[in-house]
Amino acid sequence: MPDAPATDSLIITDITTSADAEAFRVLNEAWISRFFTLEDEDRKLLGDPVGQIVEPGGAAFVARLGDTVIGCIGIAPVGPGVFELVKMAVSPEHQGHGTGRKLIATALDRARALGAHRVVLESNAQLASAVHLYERFGFRHLGHDEIAPSPYVRADVHMALDLH
């Protein structure tokens, strides 16, 4: 696939419009439906990312090439100084070009700015490229005794990154 024209550089911003929130929902529903079944917790977060992620003290981001949203990610507060990395998605035609890496870096920078000392996440072993990307950022797999109950049936990978 050819590279994007030089005029289209990736820009990552906070979700600010209903169109951003809709893109966040559509991108996530697409990958979840491709690999798994949409669950109640997905519907709750994706139906209102501002109310469910941002307003409680987190942040949600979209990645754009030109006017097109091609990726997204969120960080949701789950405890004092602890945020969960949630709902990362990159459209299939734009995967493999560093967008996921840039989204994670943006989310981790914001978590630090919000006073986080730890970021946790849940994923699934089928999503090997995503799990590998998290590992490259320094996320470690949690032991069975460290895993909190999950609202997601599909969550079989539990990871954490202690921020310094």
Domains and CATH numbers, the chain: 10-162 (3.40.630.30)
Question: Are 57 and 121 a contacting pair, CB within 8 Å?
Answer: no
Residues of the chain with pLDDT > 70: what percent?
Answer: 95
Strands 59-65 and 118-123: unpaired
Distances (CA, A) of 44 to 16, 41, 51, 151: 19, 5, 10, 11
Q: Which residue has the tokens 């997204």?
A: 72
pLDDT averaged over 10-residue windows placed end to end, the chain, 164 residues? 59 96 97 95 96 97 96 97 97 95 98 98 96 98 92 96 91
pLDDT at res. 3: 52
Q: Which residue has the tokens 């954490």?
A: 160
pTM of the model: 0.93
The residues that bridge with 123 in the sheet, in sequence order, are 157
Q: Which residue pairs, CB below 8 angstroms and at least 24 apart, start in 43-52?
A: 45/74, 45/76, 45/86, 45/87, 46/87, 48/21, 49/15, 49/21, 49/24, 49/25, 49/74, 49/87, 50/15, 50/21, 52/76
pLDDT at res. 148: 87
